[in-house]
Amino acid sequence: MVFTAKGVAIPLLYSDAFLDHDTGPMHPERAGRLTAVVEALKEMPWSDRLDWVTPACRQGLDVRVGQLQSLRYVEAVKRLAEGGGGQIDADTVVSARSYDVALLALSAWLDGVDIVLERENASFVLARPPGHHATSRGGMGFCLFSNAAIAAHYALEKPGIERVAILDWDVHHGNGTQDICEKNPAIAYCSMHQAHFYPGTGHVDERGDHGNVLNLPMAAGSNLEQYLPVFDEQVMPFLKQFGADLLIVSAGYDATQADQLAGMSLQPEDYAVLTKRCLGLTRKILFGLEGGYDFDALGQAVAATLGAVINAD
């Protein structure tokens, strides 16, 4: 544990280098998202309880990504970046620095795993690009490397870690995370997402090879009143029964009412409620940023998550 004058410090993994993944000024997933979150957090009355940790890029991550996605894909992203950049699909941009930044983002997720296990307390990875749409075949939907899935596999290499659960509350289904994890009985994946929406996966009948996947599509317009019964009666029992040694939350914040990329009606402060529920299950939670495109709502929602962690101490 690391203590501040007012209590336990909550690790926040962040680097200004994450701003260098340049998707262009009009792209929804642009650097300003992180800047907005950093500014919002610094204004919080508990900001001195945050322990800002700068990740360093780990060696050999290309191989690690290659094992779960493909080496051919990793090489393709690298070459695209070295050539000055380009697009993987209509939504997914690779700039000159994106390969290095995406590997640094993944490093931050892995550092986050280490820190959560070491301190036995929650941490937050404030990184980009996001990852939950990146499949074994390659990147898509703003995502390059499958951060949460790779972090879960990494955690399983640690002594005493036999089961890892991933809860994905981004408004979009994490098709990439599911794709990479659904065959592994040591990983559970649970997603709440807007039904009949991008990327078109995440049906209730997708249960994973071992019953280790739970998809909970939600009707457009859902607010906390609709979210909570599903959270309490389906998400929590599923996670409890699985009994993970580490919980990874793919923390996207695009289900807020203000977010223009989707049609849900959560308020930023609602994420404090969801976070408290998770903390009731375990303190060993790694939150990692996925989506969230209304800068103001994103900043407030991340703050609500971290505020709930800090106030739980």
List the catalytic residues. Answer: 133
Provide CB contacts within 8 A for 211, sequence distance 6+: none
- Kindly state the tokens that stand for 111: 């550092």
Phi, psi of 197 (to 5 degrees): -140, 170
- Provide, rounded to whole angstroms, the least separation between the CB of residue 288 and Zn ion: 13
**DSSP designation for 283:** S
CB of 191 to Zn ion, least distance (A): 11
Q: Decide if 115 contacts 123 (C-beta within 8 A).
A: yes
* Integer-rounded Cα radius of gyration of the chain: 18
Residue with tokens 């407030």: 300
Q: Which residues are near Zn ion by CB under 5 A?
A: 170, 172, 252, 254, 291
Q: Do 23 and 30 touch, CB atoms closer than 8 A?
A: yes
Closest C-alpha among 259, 239, 176 to residue 230: 239
Q: Which residue is nearest to Zn ion (CB)?
A: 291
Q: Nearest distance from residue 260's CB to Zn ion, in Å?
A: 12
Q: 202 vs 252, which CB is nearer to Zn ion?
A: 252
Could you count the other beta carbons within 10 Å of the beta carbon of residue 196?
10
Nearer to Zn ion, 304 or 310 (CB): 304
* 103's tokens: 């590997």
Residue 111 or residue 179: which is nearer to Zn ion going by CB?
A: 179
HEC letters along 241-299: HHCCCEEEEEECCCCECCCCCCCCCECCCHHHHHHHHHHHHCCCEEEEECCCCCHHHHH
Asked if residue 306 lies in contact with residue 10, where contact means CB atoms within 8 angstroms, the answer is yes
Q: Using alpha carbons, select from 274, 135, 152 the residue that is nearest to residue 200.
A: 135
Residues in the chain: 313
Q: Which is nearer to Zn ion, 30 or 172 (CB)?
A: 172
Closest separation between CB of residue 262 and Zn ion, Å?
7
Complex with Zn ion: residue 117 or 148, whichever CB lies closer: 148
Centre a 10 Å sphere on the Cβ of residue 219 and count the other Cβ atoms it contains. Answer: 11
Residue whose CB is less far from Zn ion, 98 or 191: 191
CB of 29 to Zn ion, least distance (A): 9
Smallest separation, CB 1 to Zn ion (Å): 33
Beta-carbon contacts of 75 under 8 Å, excluding residues fewer than 6 positions away, are: none
* Helices (H) then strands (E): counts for the chain: 10, 12
